[in-house]
Amino acid sequence: MPRMTAARAAVEILKREGVTNAFGVPGAAINPFYAALKASGGIHHTLARHVEGASHMAEGYTRTRPGNIGVCVGTSGPAGTDMITGLYSATGDSIPILCITGQAPTAVIHKEDFQAVDIASIARPVTKAATTVLEAAQVPGVLQQAFHLMRSGRPGPVLVDLPLDVQLTEIEFDPETYEPLPVHRPVASRAQIEKAVRMLTASERPLIVAGGGIINADACELLVEFAELTGTPVVPTLMGWGVIADDHELNAGMVGLQTSHRYGNATFLESDFVLGIGNRWANRHTGKLDVYRRGRTFVHVDVEPTQIGKIFPPDYGIASDAKAALALFVEVAKELRDAGELPDRAAWAASARERKATLHRRTHFDDVPLKPQRVYEEMNRAFGPETRYVTTIGLSQIAGAQMLHVYRPRHWINCGQAGPLGWTIPAALGVAVADPEASVVALSGDYDFQFMLEELAVGAQHRIPYVHVLVNNSYLGLIRQAQRNFDIDFQVNLEFENINSPELGVYGVDHVKVVEGLGCKAIRVTEPDRLLPAFEEAKKLAAEFRVPVVVEAILERVTNISMSGSDIASVNEFEDIATEPWHAPTEILPLT
């Protein structure tokens, strides 16, 4: 039997589980793992500037392609605690990432040794499993179980903590005979799907709410096929955006308090039956449940049995992997179609299209300083359907979700449940590593951008190009808007007179100088007719220099974005409504 250190065995297992990339920061307690990483080869490592950044890079990497599992690595103590935010973000959005941390030697973990912390206990609430391995011979089994857990059921992150002496201990391990454990996912029965379809066909105005679980299961084509067979309009959730192209005739728009369309909410309020697949009924989607549920029958399909009934009791629940369920949904629908038993939904689908053609928010403004709506209008012109958008939280994300267009799965890569500021830059780098040929476009407000802007240096060092649209109003815009309910504007203002850049006035931070100082390129835009040329130039600069390129748009200080604090029937519209028919940008052909 071959003998090797437990650290080397860990690296060999990663390779055999399909890992090709890792993100992290080395340190004394994890150096044996890094030595094995170098000696073994085959795994490309990207050095982050902050360990939290490494965890978000791993998230972006996982979210980009089916089957990816991002790996983040850090040393003992604060490295692990820094990555907790990434683990929380990943678990909230059902994203599998593997976090590997170093640890003090086993004999002194309990003796307050330098950087010794019970990271497994800290991480356990935000992971599917978190384990400090105390016996070197257990390392292969713990890692094998980690990959099994990450892929089985509802996907999610796992942390494996490796004490220094455990990493250095030699064990007997044969990587040539190692095999991953089979993945377990619940599968719906034929009888369950038949009942759900009967409930759908008995309704008059059905909708499908398509969640991120459909994307995780790589089941988007099946979802579209089922919708087309039954003529049922589809409401993608924020995490499910892209399951059906925005210009598809059955895409009814998004529903919710914030990241929603006027036509999406209006159509939902007209519905009488909702089939939710791979979604979790997030509160920003539903708003007040009495309004959301009133007059509607609900069927909920989710891979995690305990998710069914967590927010509200559906009329019928099915625990199933989305792909397995949708394969049966398609099979049953085809049989009903062939038997002439599917009801005609043409009038209902046409009414949804009519709302989609008329209920819009205005985007075309010529104001200086810029109104944010114009930024998103020009982004739609500049960036085509192949664009992978990356964003996290704030008015920039909310307005972007209301006004941008997404045409493909995994092309809206968004931190949904946790929404940590600073997520966007490292996540975008992870996306660009996972798909080097992609058009990656990140979207941030100024505060999200400032949280982890040091990670831009990673893009410069490793030649990872992408375009970052930075909308700058020198405010914590979302919190400022929320503070209106308290009649305050307190501790949310980022303005100051920058003595080194007086031309910025009250906008404070000179992002162009900072970005250039980190080895990247930057363009500042102050007039609306310069937005499109700036985006085109940014694409060229990213391709030429192979670094991140930031386009900073200087916005008016205060813009209130349409949203509601309570229910989907009372969204506050702050701007005049445009009534021009919805269409994809003229240079983009509708997808078929």
Q: Which of 452, 447, 482 is nearest to 572 (CA)?
A: 482
Specify whether the CB–CB gap between 267 and 352 falls below 8 A. yes
pLDDT digits (tens, 9 = 90+) for 417-474: 888 999 999 999 999 999 999 999 999 999 999 999 999 999 999 999 999 999 999 9
Same fold? 3-177, 190-358 = yes
Fold of 372-554: Rossmann fold (3.40.50)
Assess whether 243 carries a catalytic annotation. Answer: no
Task: List the catalytic residue out of 479, 492, 514, 588.
Answer: 479
**Integer CA distances (angstroms), 79 to 22, 88, 126, 161, in order:** 15, 15, 16, 11
Choice among 30, 476, 531, 555 that is catalytic: 476
| Residues with pLDDT less than 70, the chain | 575-592
Domain spanning 3-177 has what CATH number? 3.40.50.970
Among 512, 439, 507, 513, CA closest to 472: 507
Closest CA to 254 of 59, 402, 71, 35: 402
| Residue 421 among the catalytic residues | yes
- The ranges assigned to domains in the chain are 3-177, 190-358, 372-554
Which of 51, 95, 162, 326 is catalytic? The answer is: 51
**Chosen CATH of 190-358 out of 3.40.50.10420, 3.40.50.1220, 3.40.50.150, 3.40.50.720:** 3.40.50.1220
Q: Which of 197, 257, 421, 568 is catalytic?
A: 421
If phi > 0 it is left, if psi is from -120 to 50 it is alpha, else beta; for residue 372 that is alpha
Q: Are 367 and 262 in contact (CB under 8 A)?
A: no
Q: Is 479 a catalytic residue?
A: yes
- Verify whether residue 303 is a known catalytic residue: no
Known active-site residue 126? no
Which residue in the list 11, 19, 25, 171 is annotated as catalytic?
25
Nearest to 443 by CA among 482, 401, 475: 401
pLDDT for the residue numbered 588: 38
pTM: 0.94
Q: What is the pLDDT of residue 575?
A: 61
Q: Which of 213, 223, 341 is nearest to 279 (CA)?
A: 213
